[in-house]
């Protein structure tokens, strides 16, 4: 993959200091951005964005007078801003970490953070990760889908699984994928889950959606089992499945019918959901394990699991939440969380997946920390089944970092 991202042609800088506006304009011009607009407060910035929907990059100070940076992010999310954002701040890492988390909740794409005083090198390094995100997913904000629409869409098989690869960090081997839901809407295009999951939940349709995802994932595994028998698919399990005592049997029957191995199905459970009903959750998980399924704890670091709790659940894999992984090199709090998650996983003999690896820097950092598996835009975006298989073949089963030693080790395999 190229080390420099595509050139950004239009940017907007928001800062209350006139001097910094000039300074950032110079930096952006120096990296080849021709159109740089400036605003010294959030309101002005919002109106510029409304007049210039083609702006690709925002450089945003989070300490602004009147409308602060947080409020501003909420507004641009409502305006469906689809470009990339660089946060500029001299705040503490943990504050910045929370801002990033919040921005992701709003489905905004934070490209990176520039601590003040920012330099040209900072900017270049952050921009080098730009463009790995493909903006093919439509933003459909605040749209309320009716139960009827959703039922119809399920019936018409408009919900499909996209697959995002998981790569072994040492060999580069593409070992599996996480199934992520997309809505192929006849008029609106591909819709990401943030836009329809809340409506699904409100209408009690999550189970049906999970069922679709299970079906798609099993079909995918079925199609792969001759050419890539080692391959696994991870499926996100909603909270209430942890109360469905017959789920392990149902899943086992489906997998058996399809003629695939139970171990090629990994069930991901979000950390914060574990505590809801401990006894039932434990029973279901133990039975899933006994039937040979993989178990993974998802979004790790965002909940409150204690070592004691985790020890009791038979997880084989721990996924560190992307909020801690993306840009970890510039964030001491994230680094501490990654380090302690790795320690914990090692103690409990679990594999560690780093989610949200979006740059070579992220990759190198999590590798140094001892993570085993990588997932994120740096490797690839989630893809449809057809795209995924084409991508896998094109890469001959290995993600090539372009390192001579990796090439060697991948050939050995």
Q: How far apart are CA 348 and CA 132, in angstroms?
A: 34
- Binding segment for Mg ion among 92-100, 231-239, 249-257, 322-330 (CB under 5 A)? 231-239
Out of 84, 298, 362, 372, the residue judged to bind Mg ion by CB under 5 A: 298
Kindly tell me which of 37 and 166 has the beta carbon lying closer to Mg ion: 166
CA atoms within 13 A on the CB side of 109: 22
Considering the complex, what minimum distance in angstroms separates the CB of residue 298 from Mg ion?
Answer: 4
Q: Does 321 bind Mg ion (CB under 5 A)?
A: no
Considering the complex, what minimum distance in angstroms separates the CB of residue 338 from Mg ion?
Answer: 17
Out of 268, 271, 317, 372, the residue judged to bind Mg ion by CB under 5 A: 268
H helices within 31-108, ranges in order? 42-51, 69-78, 93-105
- Binding segment for Mg ion among 2-10, 35-43, 58-66, 298-306 (CB under 5 A)? 298-306
Q: How far apart are CA 156 and CA 144, in angstroms?
A: 19
Kindly tell me which of 327 and 356 has the beta carbon lying closer to Mg ion: 356
Kindly tell me which of 8 and 179 has the beta carbon lying closer to Mg ion: 179
H helices within 106-170, ranges in order? 120-127, 147-155
Q: Which residues contact 85 (CB under 8 A, 6 or more apart)?
A: 57, 58, 60, 73, 103, 108, 109, 110, 111
Considering the complex, what minimum distance in angstroms separates the CB of residue 270 from Mg ion?
Answer: 8
Kindly tell me which of 10 and 316 has the beta carbon lying closer to Mg ion: 316
Q: How far apart are CA 289 and CA 191, in angstroms?
A: 33
Q: How far apart are CA 278 and CA 285, in angstroms?
A: 10
Out of 33, 77, 122, 236, the residue judged to bind Mg ion by CB under 5 A: 236
Considering the complex, what minimum distance in angstroms separates the CB of residue 268 from Mg ion?
Answer: 4
- Binding segment for Mg ion among 84-92, 122-130, 163-171, 291-299 (CB under 5 A)? 291-299
Considering the complex, what minimum distance in angstroms separates the CB of residue 281 from Mg ion?
Answer: 17
Q: How far apart are CA 318 and CA 298, in angstroms?
A: 6
Binders in 323-342 for Mg ion, by CB under 5 A: none
Which conformational region is residue 60 in: left (phi greater than 0), alpha (psi within -120 to 50 degrees), or beta?
A: beta
Contact positions vs Mg ion (CB under 5 A): 236, 268, 298
């Amino acid at each position: 993959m190229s080390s420099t991202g595509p050139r950004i042609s239009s940017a907007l800088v928001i800062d209350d200091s006139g001097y910094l506006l000039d300074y950032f304009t110079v930096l952006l011009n120096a990296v080849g951005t021709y159109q740089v607009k400036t605003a010294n407060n959030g309101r002005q910035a919002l109106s510029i964005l409304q007049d210039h929907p083609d702006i690709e990059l925002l450089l945003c100070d989070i300490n602004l007078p009147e409308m602060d940076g947080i409020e501003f992010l909420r507004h641009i999310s409502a305006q469906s801003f689809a470009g990339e954002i660089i946060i500029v701040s001299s705040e503490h890492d943990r504050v910045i970490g929370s801002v990033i988390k919040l921005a992701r909740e709003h489905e905004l794409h934070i490209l990176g953070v520039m601590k003040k005083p920012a330099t040209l090198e900072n900017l270049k390094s952050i921009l080098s990760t730009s463009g790995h995100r493909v903006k093919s997913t439509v933003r459909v904000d605040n749209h309320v889908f009716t139960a009827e629409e959703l039922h119809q869409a399920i019936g018409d098989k408009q919900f499909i699984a996209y697959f995002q690869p998981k790569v072994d960090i040492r060999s580069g081997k593409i070992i599996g994928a996480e199934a992520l839901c997309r809505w192929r809407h006849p008029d609106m295009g591909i819709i990401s889950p943030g836009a329809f999951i809340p409506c699904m939940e409100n209408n009690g349709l999550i189970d049906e959606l999970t069922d679709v995802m299970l079906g798609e994932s099993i079909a995918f595994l079925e199609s792969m089992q001759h050419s890539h028998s080692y391959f696994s698919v991870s499926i996100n399990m909603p909270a209430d499945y942890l109360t469905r005592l017959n789920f392990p049997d149902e899943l086992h029957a489906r997998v058996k019918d399809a003629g695939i191995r139970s171990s090629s199905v990994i069930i991901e459970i979000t950390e914060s959901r574990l505590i809801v009903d401990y006894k039932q959750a434990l029973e279901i998980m133990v039975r899933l394990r006994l039937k040979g399924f993989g178990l993974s704890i998802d979004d790790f670091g965002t909940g409150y699991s204690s070592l004691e709790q985790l020890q009791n659940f038979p997880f084989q894999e721990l996924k560190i939440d992307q909020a801690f992984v993306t840009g970890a090199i510039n964030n001491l709090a994230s680094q501490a969380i990654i380090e302690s998650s790795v320690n914990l996983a090692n103690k409990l003999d679990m594999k560690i997946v780093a989610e949200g690896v979006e740059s070579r820097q992220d990759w190198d950092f999590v590798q140094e920390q001892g993570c085993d598996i990588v997932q994120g835009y740096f490797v690839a975006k989630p893809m449809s089944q057809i795209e995924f298989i084409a991508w896998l073949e094109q890469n001959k089963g290995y993600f090539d970092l372009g390192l001579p030693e990796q090439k060697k080790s991948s050939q050995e395999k």
